[in-house]
Amino acid sequence: MKNRATIIVLLGVAQTLAWASSYYLPAILAGAIGQAVGASSSTVFGAFSVALLMSAAVGPFAGRLIDRRGGRPVLMLSNLVFAAGLAALSQAQTPLHVFAAWAVIGLAMGSGLYEAAFATAVRLHGQQARRTITGITLFAGFASTVGWPLTSYLESSVGWREACLVWAGLHLVIGLPLNALLPAAEQVASASNGGAEKAEQQAALAPHQQRGAAVLLAFVFAVAWFISTAMAAHLPALLLGVGASLAAAVGIAALVGPAQVVGRLFEFAFLSRAHPLLSARLATLAHPLGALCIGLFGSSAAMAFAVLHGLGNGILTIVIGTLPLLFFGAKGYGQRQGFLMVPARIVQAGAPFLFGLVMERLGVGALWFSAGLGLAACLALTRLAWSISR
């Protein structure tokens, strides 16, 4: 079996490509796509919301396939579907074509983004997959850093249609070979006698406790993705509302990405030795703490808010993969993770619109709404910690 570092690199680079060519694509191309097909940018973002809903629908089925056959064939298939969806998007002539293309991309997102990569890591490394999951997120944390400039360059130099085709080609010439190099899960299973049964026995919760834990985890994950997506869409406007200049608001908002990577590095270097629930609770408190700084100090704390939000968001991406492994064990991880993420993908699809409505009513006070959600997620994790300690 290939060593852990090699698997981290393979999955990490492939995930960077997958995120850059899907989740981070509309921010750069929505305007150009809308203009070409006679639709508004918001309509294109509506098509992206359809992709998120499609990914929620397909996630449990992709996870089940990974549990049964390993991640290599599922991830390879996702590269082909990504390429097909992006190629279809490049040929779109009407808004309906855009929606159809994003629906195809959504199928690939549900079988080729973090949940699938995490399930692959668990299928390969069982209960010892935490460091692999963290390593994957360290690579993919640079997806926007790579994706946004490259997409912008391609759009300005050759056009948005050709940019989509380039991303489609990269899935075929980079993503597909990387995922093809992953070891077969059957080889790993045969090399580890009794590994699945042992991993299942290491689950922190007894079977009769797991349903309640699943509900609480689904809530925590939904809150995490809602806050993350809402901030991605509205953070510059929020910073303007607290008194920052336009240039400062854009510059401060750009700190979120690097802060996410720093948070993941901190988890990898230090918190990986601690209980995953410690990482999770610290992460859910970061956004409310940043909101408190804004409430106390106004625009002078805008940078602290962006950094704290980014740190927490980066760590939460990891614990979304590690907490289900802790509570339920490695057996059936992929399918269970897919189901746990369904509410998260649904609220993620509506987060920009819903948080925009809250901002219309409350202005900067909308931060207290998101901070309250973060505190509620922390309370849910505290309840889970109590379940383990009983």
Summarised one tens digit per residue, pLDDT across range 100-125 is: 999 999 999 999 999 999 999 999 98
Q: How far apart are the first and last CA of the chain?
A: 38
C-alpha distances in angstroms, 390 versus 210, 275, 383, 385? 14, 16, 11, 9
138 alpha-carbon distance from chain centroid: 12
User: Three-state DSSP class for 11?
Assistant: helix
Tell me which DSSP letter residue 205 carries: S
User: Three-state DSSP class for 25?
Assistant: coil
- Written as six digits, the tokens of 358 are 């809250």
Which CATH topology does 4-192 take?
A: Growth Hormone; Chain: A; (1.20.1250)
Across residues 198-219, what is the average pLDDT? 74
| Least confident window among 17-26, 112-121, 247-256 | 247-256
C-alpha distances in angstroms, 223 versus 230, 373, 380? 10, 6, 11
Contact assessment for residue 260 and residue 312, using Cβ atoms and an 8 Å cutoff: no
Q: Considering the domain 200-389 in this protein, what is its CATH number?
A: 1.20.1250.20
C-alpha distances in angstroms, 183 versus 4, 6, 110, 133? 11, 10, 21, 16
pLDDT tens track for 299-348: 899 999 999 999 999 999 889 988 988 888 888 999 999 999 999 989 98
From-to residues of CATH 1.20.1250.20 in the chain: 4-192, 200-389
Confidence at 4, pLDDT banded by 50, 70, 90? confident
Tell me the range of 23-37, 166-180, 238-252 where mean pLDDT is highest.
Answer: 166-180
Which residues, other chains included, contact 326 with Cβ-Cβ below 8 Å and sequence gap of 6+? 203, 204, 276, 277
The pLDDT score that the predictor gives to residue 105 is 97
Contact assessment for residue 15 and residue 115, using Cβ atoms and an 8 Å cutoff: no
Confidence at 186, pLDDT banded by 50, 70, 90? low
Predicted structure pTM score = 0.86
The pLDDT score that the predictor gives to residue 194 is 47
Q: In this model, does residue 201 exceed pLDDT 70?
A: no
Q: If you average pLDDT over every residue of the chain, what do you get?
A: 88
